[in-house]
Amino acid sequence: MALLGRMDNRAWREQMLVFTAEYIKESANELLFIQHLRSCEECRLIAQLDVERYMGSRSVWWIDLQNDVGQNWDEDMYEIDPDLKDCPRVENYRIGSYWTSSSPDTLRFIDDRMKWADRVIRKKMLLACQYYKRVKAWDLSGETPSEPELAYSLYQPNLFSMG
């Protein structure tokens, strides 16, 4: 039984190392995108049009207003992920409309959300890196290393995936 337990633990460890490494890679790609979006006027215009015409649903998770991370969260959800409490609320901005007129407040909303997302992604990425090290160092006996507080399980699609 001990041998079977070690075999199961080894398979679990390999699977978690792959999941965690992918999470870290996705997070790094999102940080690169944020860095690019800060300086590229064309991409900023595309993001603004996306928010004003499609409610951000064709872009990154942090400006998607149809599935907004800052909307409809009760106090219980803040206990699950306290970073959501700091999310800039769309109600505090005058979002323009593709059909009537654009608004400079849309870009301010995108910039504020970008700052918030950058901080959250870096924090979660650090937790994932620490978890990766714990899993890698685990000796396959005893309890499995506990998963970090990443809002969702590493088994689930990345909360911070683009698109």
Q: How many CB atoms lie within 10 A of CB 138?
A: 18
What is the per-residue pLDDT for 27? 92
CA distance 41 to 123: 27
The pLDDT value given to residue 103? 86
Out of 20-29, 35-44, 79-88, pick the least confident.
79-88
- Give the separation between CA 149 and CA 111, rounded to whole angstroms: 26
Confidence grade of residue 56 (pLDDT, cut at 50, 70, 90): confident
3-class DSSP assignment, residue 147: coil
Residue found by looking up tokens 């994932």 in the block? 128
The pTM assigned to this predicted structure is: 0.79
User: What's the mean per-residue pLDDT of the chain?
Assistant: 82
Which pLDDT does position 161 carry in this prediction?
40
Among the residue ranges 17-26, 68-77, 132-141, 153-162, the one predicted with the least confidence is 153-162
The structure tokens listed for 88 are 């800039």
Query: Secondary structure of 14-34 in the HEC alphabet?
Result: HHHHHHHHHHHHHHHHHHHHH
Ordered alpha helix ranges (H), the chain: 2-39, 41-54, 75-80, 104-137
Residue pLDDT, tens place only, 7-19: 888 998 999 899 9
Reported as a pLDDT band with limits 50, 70 and 90, residue 35 is: very high
What does the pLDDT average to over 24-29? 94
In this structure, the chain runs to a length of 163
Tens digit of pLDDT for each residue in 142-161?
777 777 765 444 444 444 34
Residues 52 and 102: their CA atoms lie apart, in Å, by 7
pLDDT of residue 30: 93
Q: What is the pLDDT of residue 50?
A: 92
Q: How far apart are CA 36 and CA 22, in angstroms?
A: 21
How far, in Å, CA of 138 to CA of 99, rounded?
56
Per residue in 89-137, pLDDT (tens digit) is 888 899 988 788 888 899 999 999 999 999 999 998 999 999 999 999 9
Residues 116, 93, 84, 31, Cα dihedral to 10°: -30
- Beta pairing partners, 60: 162
